[in-house]
Amino acid sequence: MFPIAHAWMIEQCVPSPTLAHYLGCVWPDMLYGSPLTHQQTHREGVALAAYAASLPSGDEGDEFRQFVQGALSHGVEPHGFDWYSDEEYGGLPASERGYAFQRGRQLADRAAMACGVDVSQGWWKAHNLIEMAFERRLFAERQGRGERIATACADTALIERISSHLAEHFGQPADALAVPMRRFPEVVELGPTTIESLARTYAAQTRLRHPGAEPDEAVLAHLIAEAETIVAPDADEFLRSCSARVHAMLDNAFNA
């Protein structure tokens, strides 16, 4: 999912999220210029939670555990929001993938063309368009979600403390882990009031990930509008189901 949806999720799972929670809930997607891989940020949550649990009690340890709660709410293993969006939803075979892939299949060829990438990338791009279809409604519901993410990313002291622990866990320089956190608001849309702003940001992300690609922003905007129509009939059920399951996962991960 995209950042506003992840902020929504942590708010469903934690009564009063802190800035560390908000930073953590989007951290797995902070891969622009990061030395970490998607595997490390999305699928190694159990090890990260174990490391967080090993820290002494106290303000800094508690803060890092809040960050990890946010990260786990986002990821794939254990089953966070992205598991249900990307990997499995509705009891369908694994080949059908998660909700966003299921709903996005019909957009795959057009998504590849709009992004200027090979057709083999189309299903992935289409699933991103479905995920973006949740951003405007969840931002309109509470505009402070984007502001909380931006504030967390601008908190230099918070990022220094969090990146220090991440550096110890992953064996990477703390500065290299801090830079993508500070940069994140520059590469995402934290105030998605229009389809055009989402399309513009996604086009920029596509150029970063696929050097030489020339995305068509107008076509992307049209596809995002279509994606909003596609998810409208069952978006609420998807969100309700995911939030209940992610909430239970977090309770188990930190209270087992």
CA distance 221 to 197: 8
Tokens of 1: 């999912």
**Mean per-residue pLDDT for 78-85?**
98
pLDDT at residue number 135: 98
The Cα 160–Cα 156 span in angstroms is 6
pLDDT over threshold 60, residue 256: no
Tokens of 25: 């809930």
Q: What pLDDT was estimated at residue 83?
A: 98
The tens digit of pLDDT for each residue in 18-58 reads: 999 999 999 999 998 999 999 999 999 999 999 999 999 88
Closest CA to 98 of 24, 30, 1, 29: 1
C-alpha dihedral (222, 117, 102, 33), degrees to nearest 10: -100
pLDDT at 90 over 70: yes
Pinpoint the alpha helices (H) of the chain: 3-13, 19-26, 38-43, 45-54, 59-74, 81-82, 99-104, 108-115, 122-132, 135-141, 144-154, 156-170, 174-187, 195-209, 217-231, 235-255
- Give residue 253's pLDDT: 85
Mean pLDDT of 64-69: 98
CA distance 88 to 74: 14
